[in-house]
Amino acid sequence: MIKLEINKKIILERLDIIQTSLNKLDKLKTLSSGRFMLEDNFAIAEHYLRYALEATFDICAHILSRIPGTQLDEYKQMALEMGKQEILPMEFARQKLYKMGGYRNRLTHFYFEVKSEEMYSIVRNDLSDFKEFMRYIKPLLVK
């Protein structure tokens, strides 16, 4: 991996957004399926999931902007480039981050297709992907 001149403040702020969002989503994770479907829980989950995804890809965009010739604006391509540049393990970039980029696009552009059952499943089963991402990014802050 190459030496990157990143703005640590930007990275830390985005990591904080991800962690705060995960804390909110973790509270929803404890709800039963029926309770999750009630009231505003779906909208709250959608908001914090989108917020965490945006912060994740803000981090990717910031890091990649520091590498000549790698400024990308498509989230899935950012994911792959993070692996190619060995900032993240390629397997994680391909298997997890790439899908996260696609889901961010779905939440933003095809939000009307996202169903509460799907959101509940993501909140229950996939939040660890964010934690894994943060584990890979944090070492960049000590270099």
Report whether 63 contacts 87 (CB < 8 A): yes
One of 1.25.40.80, 3.10.200.10, 2.130.10.10, 1.20.120.580 is the CATH number of 8-142, namely 1.20.120.580
pLDDT at residue 111, as a whole number: 82
Report whether 66 contacts 5 (CB < 8 A): yes
pLDDT at residue 69, as a whole number: 81
pLDDT at residue 73, as a whole number: 78
Mean pLDDT per 10-residue section of the chain, whose length is 143 residues: 79 98 95 87 94 97 90 88 95 96 89 88 95 96 78
| CA 135 to the chain's CA centroid | 12
Return d(Cα 143, Cα 123) in angstroms, integer: 33
pTM, 2 dp: 0.92
